[in-house]
Amino acid sequence: MGLEASELKAFLRTHQSFEVAKKTFRIYVESWREEEPEEFFEAFGDIDIDLVEVEAWRGSLVVNFLYDRDIEFVSASLKISFDDKILAEYFLIQDLDGEIIDDRLHFE
């Protein structure tokens, strides 16, 4: 299934991808802070994670050709910033049925 831009926008709205990403981002960072506080502090320093800005940034259809069969998924990313400085980008990965496959946080 290939998606046109209008279909991608409809997918992101229908599956509330950015809203879900905002919730899963909070779960992600809270788990990280509890389970690996030293690594969390290395990444965020003394920034109060509750004060970072989390904004919808990009939506894209991705086709991964690395495996025996092509894998298509939708990525909804959030811009994570503090004091007008971008800290990271958070990605929520969904299959074409809207099910969450994975998530990750990428630092600038």
Residues 28-78 pLDDT 10s: 999 999 999 999 999 999 999 999 999 999 999 999 898 888 899 999 999
Q: Grade residue 3 by pLDDT with cuts at 50, 70 and 90.
A: low
Q: Give the start-to-end residue ranges of the domains of the chain.
A: 5-107
- pTM recorded for the entire structure: 0.91
51-57, long-range: CB < 8 A, 24+ apart: 51/82, 52/80, 52/81, 52/82, 52/87, 53/79, 53/80, 53/81, 53/82, 54/22, 54/25, 54/78, 54/79, 54/80, 54/90, 55/79, 55/81, 56/18, 56/21, 57/89
CA-based radius of gyration for the chain? 15
